[in-house]
């Protein structure tokens, strides 16, 4: 599978990643090479093989639905790019 | 060696260095621990000596991103007081370095990325908490490939790390800063993380010992996520014995990591001296084929001859799906990374672009500016593999191959106790040699990646040199057999001295 510049631009949009126009051809080339490497998987017959999501085949552990973390809003917001009155600021979304 | 008890409140002992035939920085953690216990030196003196080495040598190596000298000395003084109270353990007062992927409260945790260049973590990773509780002293945070994506430590926002054995070569990656720091004796031990070989491959290239534990053995909480079904933290040090001491403090159940395994932590030093008589070592024929440097193969074979002298038996085995490990990894790891790194949105923490015109612009430019090219590549591959219509062909197929690879290992462990082979197909390559060619770079992890896919423990230890650069031997064991791996490495280190060699420029 090979990807062209338009496809790279579409994937970059899905990933919410700005890529400079001049870098798109190089990404297209590299990504195509990676997908070519990945295509070696097709040589394997995996009919009926159960996919392995967890190396120890364990189920996700659940915890009781209770409050376990203290309120650390001030500590977390201290490292935020922009906050005001305990809220994270972003550009206006709704006019 | 005669000992002069050193009162911790007294002036610096004028004899402490002259009494000592081996310089402090040349000692292993076990030796330093004995020295602290005997009062030959204090943790403060020891910490000061290592901080001095970091200041002197780091400009050549770029192994550290952040040096935490003040907190290190405060931790060292606290460790000395703890020892006076009779509450010291084997790691109390031992200086170590943390890979900059582990969150450290109040200290920048950059993950080698511009994205987190100004990120001061509000909390400690569980591994950091556990090592703090053991009394270890943090010297600083080590350099690494950006978000642990790389095999050469060249993708860091802070510039490449140099290999202490030859400053024109890479130290391996992604835990290259930790490996270089230990190899150059800037720290007696360090933490690392391993998603596809990132502890073992740099350990091999820098001539030290590194262990990737069984998936779930060490908590991932506070360890910045790359590929969550593969990531595992582990120790890097000069000897297997030191790795045993560090792992004993790092391992254990953590309710805050839902993939942490609730299983008692053994004393990893207890089995170190077990004789190797009758040990069956499997040599996968796929690990000795095309792509392996001939001199590296020869070095590994010489090490196997040493193991036979120690009473082990070597047999050829087959891991028939080995060649599928890299293709499957480069679907699974990017898919999980694209999901994990979606959290970096320029809103709550991390890099934010200047003057965003709207929310989409804020997201795309913050991420585009914050991530370097290799991270970008992997996010894009993962986004593509998980996009509508491609899931079955890529992610599902890769997970099925993961099962085949895991089954190969389980069949092998019916015949043998451990599996051995080269850690990496070559010794350290030159800086810049592979950085623009991702596929060639990926092949550096050809023997390590399958271990992560299966979730098994793996260890690399130094077994010789080719062109004056270290060669690593990898051992793989079944789940939770870290003690066996450490035992197998320790016995070899009792009869060889590769692990004691120090790069000339840093002796």
Q: How far apart are CA B350 and CA B192, in angstroms?
A: 22
Relative to beta strand B189-194, strand B137-142 is unpaired
- Tell me: pLDDT of B18 over 90: no
Answer yes or no: do A53 and B229 touch at CB < 8 A. yes
Structural domains in chain A (count): 1
pLDDT tens figures, B372-395 = 999 999 999 999 999 999 999 999
pLDDT at A69: 86
Which fold is adopted by the domain B116-129+160-507?
Answer: Amidase signature (AS) enzymes (3.90.1300)
The DSSP H or E segment spanning B81 is: helix B69-84
Answer yes or no: do B377 and A27 touch at CB < 8 A. yes
Residue A93's alpha-carbon distances to A17, B356, B358, B362, in angstroms, are 19, 12, 7, 11
User: Per-residue confidence at B287, pLDDT binned at 50, 70, 90?
Assistant: very high
A14 in any annotated domain: yes
Mean pLDDT of the region B87-109 = 98
Mean pLDDT of the region B207-231 = 98
Mean pLDDT of the region B77-93 = 98
A15 in any annotated domain: yes
User: Per-residue confidence at B132, pLDDT binned at 50, 70, 90?
Assistant: very high
A94 close to B (CB below 8 A): no
Closest B-chain CA to A43: B324
Mean pLDDT of the region B204-223 = 98
pLDDT tens figures, B19-78 = 456 899 999 999 999 999 999 999 999 999 999 999 999 999 999 999 999 999 999 999
- Tell me: pLDDT of B145 over 60: yes
- Tell me: pLDDT of B171 over 50: yes
Q: How far apart are CA B312 and CA B488, in angstroms?
A: 10
**Which of the residues of B are catalytic?**
99, 174, 198
Here the ipTM equals 0.96
pLDDT tens, N- to C-terminus, chain A (95 residues): 789 999 999 999 999 999 999 999 999 999 999 999 999 999 999 999 999 988 887 777 888 899 988 999 999 999 999 999 999 999 988 77
A38 in any annotated domain: yes
pLDDT at B17: 43
Mean pLDDT of the region B436-450 = 94
- Tell me: pLDDT of B10 over 60: no
Comparing CB atoms, the residue among A17, A42, A61 nearest residue B367 is A17
Q: How far apart are CA B92 and CA B76, in angstroms?
A: 9
Answer yes or no: do A76 and B356 touch at CB < 8 A. no
pLDDT at B22: 82
Domain ranges of chain B: 116-129+160-507
Residues from chain A that touch B323, judged by Cβ atoms under 8 A, are 40
Answer yes or no: do B328 and A50 touch at CB < 8 A. no
Residues from chain A that touch B321, judged by Cβ atoms under 8 A, are 44
Closest B-chain CA to A8: B380
Relative to beta strand B209-212, strand B469-477 is unpaired
Q: How far apart are CA B46 and CA B44, in angstroms?
A: 5
Q: How far apart are CA B282 and CA B418, in angstroms?
A: 6
Answer yes or no: do B403 and A88 touch at CB < 8 A. no
Comparing CB atoms, the residue among B258, B363, B403 nearest residue A50 is B403
Mean pLDDT of the region B469-489 = 98
**Both structure tokens of B338:** 């694209």
A10 in any annotated domain: yes
| Least Cα separation, residue A85 to chain B (angstroms) | 14
- Domain hosting A15: range is 5-43
pLDDT at A17: 98
pLDDT at B21: 66
Q: How far apart are CA B144 and CA B65, in angstroms?
A: 9
Mean pLDDT of the region B410-419 = 98
Please state, as a whole number, how many other Cβ atoms lie within 10 Å of the Cβ of residue A75.
Answer: 14
Mean pLDDT of the region B293-304 = 98
User: Per-residue confidence at B311, pLDDT binned at 50, 70, 90?
Assistant: very high
User: Per-residue confidence at B428, pLDDT binned at 50, 70, 90?
Assistant: very high
Q: Which residue has the higher pLDDT, B236 or A95?
A: B236
Mean pLDDT of the region B2-10 = 39
């Amino acid at each position: 599978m090979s990807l062209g510049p338009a496809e790279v631009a579409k994937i970059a949009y899905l990933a919410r990643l700005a890529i400079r126009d001049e870098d798109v051809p190089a990404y297209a080339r590299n990504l195509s090479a990676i997908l070519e490497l990945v295509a070696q998987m097709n040589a394997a017959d995996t009919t009926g093989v159960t996919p392995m999501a967890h190396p120890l085949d364990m189920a996700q552990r659940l915890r009781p639905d209770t409050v376990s973390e203290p309120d650390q809003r001030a500590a977390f917001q201290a490292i935020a790019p922009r906050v005001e009155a305990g809220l994270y600021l972003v550009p206006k979304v709704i006019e | 060696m005669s000992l002069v008890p050193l009162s911790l409140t007294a002036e610096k002992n004028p004899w402490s260095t002259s009494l000592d035939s081996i310089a402090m920085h040349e000692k292993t953690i076990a030796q330093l621990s004995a020295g602290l216990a005997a009062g030959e030196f204090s943790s403060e003196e020891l910490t000061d000596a290592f901080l001095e080495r970091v200041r002197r040598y780091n400009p050549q190596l770029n192994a550290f991103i952040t040096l935490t000298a003040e907190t290190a000395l405060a931790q060292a003084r606290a460790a000395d007081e703890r020892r006076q109270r009779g509450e010291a353990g084997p790691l109390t007062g031992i200086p170590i370095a943390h890979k900059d992927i582990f969150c450290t409260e109040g200290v920048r945790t950059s993950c080698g990325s511009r994205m987190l260049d100004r990120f001061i973590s509000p909390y400690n990773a569980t591994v950091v908490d556990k090592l703090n509780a053991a009394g270890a002293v943090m010297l600083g945070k080590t350099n690494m490939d950006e978000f642990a994506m790389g095999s050469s430590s060249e993708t860091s926002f802070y510039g490449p790390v140099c290999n202490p054995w030859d400053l024109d070569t890479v130290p391996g990656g992604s835990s290259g800063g930790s490996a270089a720091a230990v190899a150059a004796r800037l720290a007696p031990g360090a933490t690392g993380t391993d998603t596809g070989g990132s502890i073992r491959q740099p350990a091999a290239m820098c001539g030290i010992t590194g262990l990737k534990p069984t998936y779930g053995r060490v908590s991932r909480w506070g360890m910045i996520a790359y590929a969550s079904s593969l990531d595992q933290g582990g120790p890097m040090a000069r000897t297997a014995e030191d790795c045993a001491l560090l792992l004993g403090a790092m391992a254990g159940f953590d309710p805050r990591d839902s993939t942490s395994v609730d299983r008692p932590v053994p004393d990893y030093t207890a089995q170190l001296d077990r004789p190797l008589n009758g040990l069956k070592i499997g040599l996968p024929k796929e690990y000795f084929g095309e792509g392996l440097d001939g001199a590296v193969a020869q070095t590994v074979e010489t090490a196997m001859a040493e193991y036979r002298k120690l009473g082990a038996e070597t047999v050829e085995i087959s891991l028939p799906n080995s060649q599928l490990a890299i293709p499957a990894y480069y679907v699974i790891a990017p898919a999980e990374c694209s999901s994990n790194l979606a959290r970096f949105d320029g809103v709550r923490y991390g890099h934010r672009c200047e003057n965003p015109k709207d929310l989409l612009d804020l997201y795309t430019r913050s991420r585009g500016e914050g991530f370097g090219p290799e991270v970008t590549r992997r996010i894009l591959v993962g986004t593509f593999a998980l996009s509508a219509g491609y899931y079955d062909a890529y992610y599902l197929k890769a997970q099925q191959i993961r099962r085949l690879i895991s089954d190969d290992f389980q069949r092998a462990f019916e015949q043998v106790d451990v599996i051995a082979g080269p850690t990496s197909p070559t010794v350290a390559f030159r800086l810049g040699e592979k950085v623009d060619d991702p596929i060639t770079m990926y092949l550096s992890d050809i023997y390590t990646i399958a271990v992560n896919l299966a979730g098994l423990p793996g260890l690399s230890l130094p077994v010789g040199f080719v062109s004056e650069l270290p060669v690593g031997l990898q051992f793989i064991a079944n789940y939770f057999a870290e003690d066996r791996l450490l035992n197998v490495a320790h016995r070899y280190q009792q009869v060889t001295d590769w692990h004691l060699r120090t790069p000339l420029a840093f002796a």
